[in-house]
Amino acid sequence: MTTIRAVFEAMDEFAPFSHQESWDNSGLLVGDPQAPVTKAVVTLDITKAVVNEAKTEGAQLIVSHHPVLFHPAKTFLSDSVPYQLAAAGIGAICAHTSLDVAAGGVNSCLADRLGLIRQRPFVWENTRFYRKLVVFCPHEYTDRIHCAMKEAGAGTLGDYAGCAFVSSGEGRFLPLDEAKPFLGKPGEWEYAKEDRLEMICPPSKVEAVLAAMRKAHPYEEPAFDVFETTALADSDSLGLIGFLDAQQQPEEFAGYIGQRLRAGGLRYVPGQRPVKRVAVLGGAGGDTVTKAVAVGVDALVTGDVKHHQLLEAMEAGLTLVDAGHFSTEDVVVEPLCSRLAARFPQVVFHKSAVFGDPARYWTASR
C-alpha cells in the first residue's frame, strides 16, 4: 500500500524540501501522511476545479508546484481550497522552490523542452557551507568511526572520499557515580589515549553523520564539536544556461519559444544579435535581466517580466522573452507525473485536465 508519506519521501529524495527558499512553504501542506494513495492528480496549482477533479476521480492526493497554503491563514472556511481538500480527505504535497532548483525540476524541464544543450547553472542560490565535525575517540576505534562517518556522508572533497585528519593526544574524564564508562571506573580519573578525528560534512548530512558516529563510538557520551566554516559545500542553481543547436534571429526565436511551450501568446523584446546562448528561468524571473546581461547570454526566457525590465533588456540589446508564468512552469508537470508513476506503479498519477493557463491573449492585427 502506498501512503502519502511514501510519495512525500520520494519527492524529498528527488527534489529535497530542505532546498526551498526561506520564504517558501513547500512540503506536505494538507492531509494525513498515513493515508493510502491509489490515485493522484499532478498540477501546477490547486484550484477549486482541481479539488473537484480529484474528488470526482477518487484521488486521495494532489501534487502541485505552487503551495496551496502560503501566507499565514487566519480563517479556514468552506470556500477555501485547503478546507475543501481537508473536508474531502485529499492530501496536498506542494514542491515549489525545491522543485525549481532540482535536477529534473522546473528549469531542467524548461531547458530540455527548448532543446538547450550543454546546460549549466544560471543563478546560484541557497549557498551552503561545510561543517567541520571533530570527534574524540579511543585510538583503537578511530578507523571504525572514520568509516561510519564516511559512509554517512562526511569527508567528501571533490573527487576524494573519506578525507580526514587524525591527531593523537590524551583524553581525561571523571566518570560520576551513575556512569557506565567504557574505560575506567566511576569515581576515578581516567587518562585515555585518544584520537582527534576531523572531517568536513555538508550541512544536510550533519545529523546522519553524528548518528553514525554515535553508533560506532564505544563511549556512553562521545565528545564532539561541530564548527561552521566558510568553505563552500554546495549551492543550488536557479535557472539554466544552454545553447541552441543553431542560432536564430530574435523574431524567429520568439516564435520558436511560443511553439515549444505551446504558449497562448507571449511578449518579447528583440535583441540586437542572433540568439544562440540562452538563459531560462521558469516562473517570475524578470529580476534576472541584469544577471543575463552580465553573463552575456543572447536571450533570456522567463515569465512575469515588468515594464522596466523590458526596457533594461532593450537598452542592453538582450532578447527577452516573457512566455508567461504558466507556460514556463507547466513544462514540469508531465515529467513529474511520469517520474512518480514510474516510482509507484500501483498508483495512478495523471496531470490535471482542468487546470491550464488562466490568461487569454489578444493581439492587435498589424
Query: Which residue's Cβ lies closest to Zn ion?
Result: 283
Cα of first residue to Cα of last residue in the chain, in angstroms, is 58
Neighbours of 27 (CB within 10 A): 18
For residue 98, the minimal CB distance to Zn ion (Å) is 12
Q: Using the minimum distance from each CB to Zn ion, give the nearer residue, 210 or 332.
A: 332
Give residues 50-109 in contact with Zn ion (rule: CB under 5 A).
none
Question: Near Zn ion by CB under 5 A, which window of 79-87, 219-227, 263-271, 283-291?
Answer: 283-291
Q: DSSP state, 58?
A: T
Q: Which of 306, 133, 332, 136 is nearest to 223 (CA)?
A: 136
Give residues 319-338 in contact with Zn ion (rule: CB under 5 A).
329
For residue 64, the minimal CB distance to Zn ion (Å) is 10
For residue 66, the minimal CB distance to Zn ion (Å) is 6
Q: Using the minimum distance from each CB to Zn ion, give the nearer residue, 181 or 239.
A: 239
Specify whether the CB–CB gap between 82 and 51 falls below 8 A: no
Question: What is the CB-side half-sphere exposure of residue 243 using CA atoms within 13 A?
Answer: 5
Chain centroid to Cα 292, Å, comes to 22
Question: Near Zn ion by CB under 5 A, which window of 121-129, 133-141, 281-289, 333-341?
Answer: 281-289
Q: Using the minimum distance from each CB to Zn ion, give the nearer residue, 91 or 283.
A: 283
Out of 105, 175, 271, 283, name the contact with Zn ion by CB under 5 A: 283
Q: Which of 202, 201, 194 is nearest to 222 (CA)?
A: 194
Looking at the chain, how many residues does it have? 366
Question: Near Zn ion by CB under 5 A, which window of 261-269, 277-285, 288-296, 337-345?
Answer: 277-285
For residue 294, the minimal CB distance to Zn ion (Å) is 24
Q: Using the minimum distance from each CB to Zn ion, give the nearer residue, 60 or 64.
A: 64
Question: b vs e for 183-213, b when ≥16 Cβ sit within 10 Å of the residue's Cβ?
Answer: eeeeeeeeebebbbbbbbbbeebbeebbebb
For residue 106, the minimal CB distance to Zn ion (Å) is 8
Specify whether the CB–CB gap between 266 and 258 falls below 8 A: yes
Question: Near Zn ion by CB under 5 A, which window of 162-170, 204-212, 222-230, 276-284?
Answer: 276-284
How many chain residues touch Zn ion (CB under 5 A)?
Answer: 2
Q: Which residues bind Zn ion (CB under 5 A)?
A: 283, 329
